[in-house]
């Protein structure tokens, strides 16, 4: 009998001792017969290492000697892995029992990356939505055209991703300092240059949103926006480098074709202009770039119409209204209850 291919789950942890039993336990409970679990602890200051030790020989512990951030954790976890497919799991998230099997059954010889949907859950694991929302179509197959022109395509976050080992060998280790946060952003930017993206339209795990997530800063929307502008710059630099390696050319000003980047850029400019990284930016110019961008990121025609109206307000409307529109869109917690309800209705109506 042929031995099934091995899948490695790399759990990335920093001060998430309270969530580790659920996260690591979900990796160990997979119904695929060959699953390896690596747990990377990024020099936690809580009792994470005691929790990891409690799993004994069921896991491969990687105890970082100093705090290196997200990218360093990806590098260390991959170096300790042996699976033909490697998936990365943030320690506050968890997998459903069939995740590994479904990924391994979806393998293709020309694939580099697998992506799938997640339950969006709160701190108590109550399901509050699907991530990405069902209305957002995944990109699938050869996504290089979108990558090279805008630096982005429709994908997901760490826990919703798995990669062929041969693709990761081409792109890791990453620059750990450039990607202290957002290591998944690096991988989804460069891995598809080495193979196809396979999208699985199933929910295979859970993405936990709570106050401590990096993806939900406790500080101002502007600070988050500035980080994302920086992160996109680092991603685009990596894209340029890897495109050259495979004989392709990436658009040098790809961000101008990237509506999501432009949203963060205008948020930084509108909400905290004194800290905005580019003093030459003007909100009208950013809006013009967004309105003329060919990238629709899987949007329906109705959704594109709504976004055109939003960009017109943000770029040319009264500044207080533009600031409110940006804040409400990028940080759901700032929306009044009636606006949250209206947003859900509009999302369904424009699917």
pLDDT reported for residue 173: 98
Q: Work out the angle at residue 74's Cα, subtended by the Cα atoms of residues 245 and 170, and round it to the nearest 5 degrees.
A: 20
Sorting pLDDT into bands at 50, 70 and 90, what band is 213?
low
Helix/strand/coil percent split, the chain, to 5:
45, 15, 35
Q: What is the sign of the dihedral through the CA atoms of 347, 126, 106 and 60?
A: positive
Q: Residue 160: is its pLDDT beyond 80?
A: yes
**How many C-beta atoms lie closer than 10 Å to residue 237's C-beta?**
14
pLDDT band at residue 7 under the 50/70/90 scheme: very high
Structure confidence at residue 134 as a pLDDT band (50, 70, 90): confident
**48 confidence band (pLDDT: 50, 70, 90):** very high
Beta carbons within 8 Å of 29's beta carbon, 6+ residues apart: 97
- Torsions phi, psi for 27 (to 5 deg): -70, -40
Instruction: Report the first-to-last Cα separation within the chain, whole angstroms.
Output: 46
Nearest-angstrom CA–CA distance, 144 and 81? 27
Condensed to tens digits (0 to 9), the pLDDT of residues 297-343 reads: 555 677 788 889 999 999 999 999 999 999 888 876 666 666 566 65
Rounded distance, CA 240 to CA 261, Å?
Answer: 17
Q: Is-cis flag, bond preceding 173, omega within 30?
A: yes
pLDDT band with cut points at 50, 70 and 90 for residue 216: very low
Give the fold, CATH level 3, of 7-208: Spore Coat Polysaccharide Biosynthesis Protein SpsA; Chain A (3.90.550)
pLDDT at 217 > cutoff 50:
no
What is the pLDDT confidence band of residue 350, given thresholds at 50, 70 and 90?
low
Strand 94-95 and strand 196-208: the pairing is antiparallel
Q: What angle do CA 171, 172, 178 make, to 5 degrees?
A: 95
Can you tell me the mean pLDDT for 50-58? Answer: 98
219 pLDDT more than 50: no
Q: What is the dihedral of CA 203, 143, 288, 311, to 10 degrees?
A: -10
Query: What confidence tens digit (pLDDT) does each residue in 72-118 have?
Result: 999 999 999 999 999 999 999 999 999 999 999 999 999 999 999 99
Place of tokens 């003093």: 279
Which pTM was predicted? 0.89
What pLDDT does residue 218 have? 39
Burial of 345 (0-12, 13-18, 19+ CB in 10 A): exposed
Q: Which residue has the tokens 């891995």?
A: 191
The answer to whether the CB of 158 falls within 8 A of the CB of 88 is yes
The segment(s) of the chain belonging to CATH 3.90.550.10 are: 7-208
| Residue bearing the bigger pLDDT, 2 or 263 | 263
Task: Pick the closest to residue 138 from 153, 152, 154, 114 (CA basis).
Answer: 154
- Give how far Cα 158 sits from Cα of 12, 277, 347, Å: 10, 27, 24
Question: Which pair of tokens denotes residue 3?
Answer: 């031995």
Distance (Å, whole) CA 176 – CA 216:
21
Whether 153 shows a pLDDT value over 50: the answer reads yes
**Share above pLDDT 70 across residues of the chain, in percent, rounded to a whole number:** 89
pLDDT computed for residue 235 by the predictor? 97
Tokens 């080495």 -> residue: 194
pLDDT tens digits, 255-306: 888 989 999 999 999 999 999 999 999 999 999 999 988 765 555 677 788 8
- Please determine, for residue 171, whether its predicted confidence score (pLDDT) is greater than 80: yes
């Amino acid at each position: 009998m042929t031995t099934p291919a091995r899948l490695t789950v790399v759990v990335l942890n920093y001060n998430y001792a309270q969530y580790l039993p659920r996260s690591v336990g979900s990796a160990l409970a997979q119904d695929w017969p060959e699953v390896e679990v690596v747990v990377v602890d990024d020099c936690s200051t809580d009792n994470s290492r005691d929790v990891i030790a409690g799993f004994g020989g069921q896991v491969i512990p990687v105890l970082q000697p100093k705090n290196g951030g997200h990218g360093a954790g990806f590098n260390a976890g991959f170096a300790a892995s042996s699976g033909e497919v490697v998936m990365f799991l943030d320690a506050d998230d968890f997998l459903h029992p069939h995740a590994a099997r479904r990924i391994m059954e979806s393998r293709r010889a020309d694939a580099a990356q697998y992506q799938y949907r997640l339950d969006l859950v709160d701190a108590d694991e109550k399901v509050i939505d699907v991530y990405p929302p069902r209305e957002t179509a995944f990109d699938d197959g050869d996504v290089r055209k979108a990558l090279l022109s805008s630096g982005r395509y429709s994908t997901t976050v760490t826990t919703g991703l798995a990669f062929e080992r041969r693709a990761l060998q081409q792109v890791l280790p990453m620059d750990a300092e450039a990607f202290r946060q957002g290591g998944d952003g690096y991988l989804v930017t460069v891995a598809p240059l080495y193979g196809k993206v396979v999208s699985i339209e199933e929910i295979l795990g859970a993405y936990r949103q709570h106050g401590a997530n990096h993806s939900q800063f406790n500080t101002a929307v502007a600070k988050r926006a500035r980080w994302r502008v920086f992160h996109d710059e680092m991603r685009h630099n990596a894209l340029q480098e890897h495109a050259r390696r495979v004989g392709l050319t990436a658009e040098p000003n790809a961000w101008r074709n990237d509506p999501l980047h432009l949203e963060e850029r205008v948020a930084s400019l509108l909400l905290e202009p004194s800290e905005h990284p580019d003093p030459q930016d003007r909100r009208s110019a950013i809006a013009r770039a967004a309105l003329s961008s060919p990238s629709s990121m899987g949007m329906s025609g109705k959704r594109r119409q709504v976004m055109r109206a939003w960009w017109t307000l943000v770029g040319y409307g009264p500044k207080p209204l533009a600031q409110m529109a940006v804040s409400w869109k990028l940080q759901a917690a700032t929306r009044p209850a009636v606006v949250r309800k209206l947003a859900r209705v509009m999302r369904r109506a424009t699917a």
